[in-house]
Structure 1
Amino acid sequence: MKYQKRKKAIVLLADGTIFYGKAVAGKEGSAFGEVCFNTGMTGYQEIFTDPSYFGQIMVTTNAHIGNYGTSSEEIESEGIKIAGLICRNFSYNYSRPAADASLEDFLDKNNLLAISDVDTRALVNYIRENGAMNAVISTEVDNIDGLKKQLAEIPDMKGLELASKVSTKEPYFMGDANATYKISALDIGIKKNILRNLAKRDCYIKVFPHNASFEDMKAFEPDGYFISNGPGDPEPLTEAIETAKGIISSGAPLFGICLGHQVIARANGISTYKMHHGHRGINHPVKNLLTGKGEITSQNHGFAINREEAEAHSDIELTHVHLNDHTAAGIRMKNKPVFSVQYHPEASPGPHDAEYLFDQFISTVKANKLETA
């Protein structure tokens, strides 16, 4: 730890509520975004680098953050994607053989403002009762009125298009060029571990920018298509929705995760909505309605698809439900090789109960390839 006096800091919510803390390592400044919380006990580095969290201030419910350091092998994108960090106890010292740096150094490298010594239990309870909202974390503790004015100008997450902020600018490849299957993936905030899971299943993946058309993705002559996770509201993603419609019409296999799941739903005319405070953690219970089995899943989303519309849709079958609040957690098309889930089967962090979905996708790709050969 860099021993220095730590500055007082605050969490100012959009409704005027204030929580108090201290800046990690004496950093100064302010960071704005929608405040949310993750209940995971581990995996903070993967969470901080997950593109789905872009524009959000993360509250970690685990009491100690930083105790096992960071590793260059445990990032889900290029750099930190959260807007700021709020925690209870920040560990400047770490203990783990696999770590190559402290969390403090990792945050410094990515120029991220973090505050600790906050009553995170009270803050999380407040979010659960009042809903996710915009917030600012700041060391400008004597400028409350000024911070309130700045906070009022931050756009709400509802209606906000963020995929373009985190998507690749140019197509790139992942995996072995001589692999059995070719997959075109639409990057609207993709995690590296999703690509790793596809690559280890004998896939060669071409990753396309968020605004790629179906024709762009089709030119790779893929055996299947994938639409990734990502941040923000799915409704403004008109280009991705049109691309999904093209893929669906082609009859090719399509798998979507998280934001990709919502895009596929909207491509089928199913609406989406902003949740009260979302699902973010690595222990969310989901029931597979096709098998009757339960799954413990990793989740990270603030929007969901309309379950009633999905169940009433003549071409859609509800395949998974979240057992805590009964929201739709998975769908498939009855007449097309298309399916999607609201959670993260690649985990990282989290359990591996849902990894079978990648195998299911590859089986669908294989079957379709044999049919069209």
Structure 2
Amino acid sequence: MKAYVYIENDIFFTATAFGKSGTFTGELVFNTSLTGYQEIISDPSYAGQFIVFSMPEIGIVGTNDDDNESNEVFASGIIIRNLNHNFSNFRAKNSLDEYLKKHGKIGICDVNTRFLVKLIRNEGNLRAIVSTELSSKEELKEALSKAPKMDNYNFVAEVSTKKPYTHKQGVWNNAKQGYNEAKKGVKKLAVIDYGVKKNILNELVEVGFEVEVFPFDIKAEELIKLFKEGKIHGVFLSNGPGEPKILKNEIMQIKKLAEAKIPILGICLGHQLLSNAFGYETYKMKFGQHGANHPVINLENKIVEITAQNHNYNVPEELCEVAIITHRNLFGDNVEGVRYKNYPIISVQHHPESSSGPHESKYIFKEFMNLM
């Protein structure tokens, strides 16, 4: 099946389609991870984006029922060099092609992804349209012009849970080939779901939290009431997609939580929303940071950690006026982690839960527990 691709800088080409047919629009981002494509594809933070994998061989280990970071795929689609139809892994249940069909998303292969990665690196996160229905460059161009843009569309409202729920699953246990069960938690934690990854919830349970997940639009007053009654001991602000500055109401609610001196941990989008809540506006990076091999230095112990990243926006240097910078990204020297002065609040830009990616930053969850 043929797919037709148009990029907003007027590049047009054809490719081979797999997964679901149709017409899809989104922003191009490249991911440098060598493994973990299922976790990457199912990360809600990729809502509204096409993931260009720099790893040329994708589909090798198939897909399974355990490695999803969410129940749905919110990414616009994936773009790869070579699709492996014949997968090989003892945990695999389906092929990548079948996985995308099930979740209603398109994939395209036989693409010069090296060219696309360089294009994104040089020109930034360009918007694109991929279609098995429209074949004319002019048709594609017109359809793309009508599609929503990342910078002014609330993807968080689409990916967040619609009602509260309790998460009782711990981390994956290789020995028993299953997830650890939750133990009696020592602290109760309210998670605000802006697009939370399941393995972040697993890690929170594993360190001893009783985890209750709330929709993105939960009112601060409700959480403050629960905190005062001793029904929760802290709040976690999750990762998620899109431009943080447009989430005006969410930023206002976070400001109220901070002023109530509730212990807070923010990751990725949560980290960015905290910065905005303190009056320090985030900015959009040229092409973001996406992958499982990004070096970050912990400025407090001088140890370099290899981390998983997935973000297009970052916090400004001026945040040091109200927060101590605890981590920096060694690829771009940008702020990666902070501890707020006079507040029980810490936040990091990277994804310390290691799914997919290394395990070197998982201590953040225990550090938050100790903060309480």
- State the TM bucket, normalised to the shorter chain: over 0.9
Q: Does 1:153 align with 2:162?
A: no
Distance in 2 separating the partners of 1:19 and 1:350: 32
Does residue 345 (structure 1) correspond to residue 371 (structure 2)? The answer is no
Tell me the CA shift for residue 261 of structure 1.
Answer: 0.1
Secondary structure of 1:235 counterpart: helix
- The answer as to whether partners of 1:159 and 1:235 remain within 8 angstroms in 2 is no
Are residues 1:88 and 2:88 paired? no
1:141 shift after superposition: 6.2
CA distance in 2, matches of 1:51, 1:275: 19
Q: Which moved more, 1:245-254 or 1:134-143?
A: 134-143
Say whether residues 1:191 and 2:191 are aligned partners: no
Correspondence for 2:223: 217
**Does structure 1 residue 58 correspond to structure 2 residue 51?**
yes
Q: Structure 1 residues 296 and 304 mapped into 2: Cα distance closer, same or farther (>3 Å)?
A: same
| One-letter amino acid of the structure 1 residue matched with residue 3 of structure 2 | A
Which of 169, 180, 187 is matched with 1:181 structurally?
187
Q: For residue 322 of structure 1, what is the aligned residue in structure 2?
A: 329
Question: What is the alpha-carbon distance in structure 1 between the residues aligned to residue 325 and residue 206 of structure 2?
Answer: 28
Of 234, 254, 258 in structure 1, the residue corresponding to residue 268 of structure 2 is: 258
Q: CA RMSD in A?
A: 1.4
Asked if structure 2 preserves the Cα contact closer than 8 Å seen for 1:19 and 1:118, the reply is no
Higher mean C-alpha deviation, range 157-166 or range 189-198:
157-166
**Is the contact made by 1:31 and 1:83 (CA closer than 8 Å) also made in structure 2?**
yes
Distance 2:116 2:184 in 1: 51
User: Does the CA-based 8 Å contact 1:257-1:341 persist in structure 2?
Assistant: yes
Matched to 2:217, the amino acid is N
Between the aligned partners of 1:133 and 1:216, the Cα distance in structure 2 is 40
1:95 CA drift (Å): 0.4
State the match for 1:23 in structure 2. Answer: 17
* Mapping of residues 300-339 of structure 1, within 5 Å: 300-307=310-317, 309-311=318-320, 313=321, 315-339=322-346
Would the aligned equivalents of 1:158 and 1:274 in 2 still touch at CA under 8 Å? no
Distance 2:253 2:22 in 1: 41
- Post-superposition shift, 1:9? 2.1
Secondary structure of 2:40's match? helix
Report the number of matched residues.
355
Letter in 1 for 2:355: S
CA contact (8 A) 2:64 2:93 kept: yes
Deviations 1:79-131 (A, max 9, x none): 21211111100011100001111111111111211110000000110110011
1: CA distance, partners of 2:142 / 2:306:
42
Q: TM-score if structure 2 supplies the norm length?
A: 0.92
C-alpha separation between the residues in 2 aligned to 1:201 and 1:106?
32
Partner of 2:110: 117
Q: Which amino acid aligns with 2:277?
A: A
- Cα distance in 2 for residues equivalent to 1:57 and 1:167: 20
CA deviation profile, 1:249-287 (whole Å, cap 9, x unmatched): 121211000000001111111111111110000000111
CA deviations over 1:336-369 (Å, ceiling 9, x no partner): 110100110002000011001011001112xxxx
Q: Which residue identity is paired with 2:335?
A: A
Per the TM alignment, residue 217 of structure 1 is displaced from its structure 2 partner at its CA by 2.0
Match of 2:297 among 271, 284, 287: 287
1:159 shift after superposition: 3.0
**Corresponding letter in the other structure for 2:205:** A
Structure 1 residue 10: Cα displacement: 2.9
For 2:343 and 2:275, locate their aligned partners in 1 and report how far apart those are by CA, in whole Å: 13
State how far apart, in whole Å, the 1-side matches of 2:208 and 2:21 are.
47
CA separation in 2, counterparts of 1:141 and 1:166?
A: 28
In structure 1, how many angstroms separate the alpha carbons of the residues matched to 2:17 and 2:261?
53
Identity %: 40
Partner residue of 1:11? 5
**Would the aligned equivalents of 1:12 and 1:137 in 2 still touch at CA under 8 Å?**
yes
Q: Does the C-alpha gap of structure 1 residues 126 and 19 become closer, same or farther in structure 2, counting only changes over 3 Å? A: farther
Structure 1 residue runs of 4+, over 4 Å off? none
Q: Which residue of 2 aligns with 1:369?
A: none
Q: Distance in 2 between matches of 1:189 and 1:68?
A: 26
Structure 1 position 328, deviation (Å): 1.0
Residues 213 and 239 in structure 1, CA contact (< 8 A), matched pair in contact too: no
What CA distance in whole angstroms lies between the structure 2 residues aligned with 1:28 and 1:101?
Answer: 18
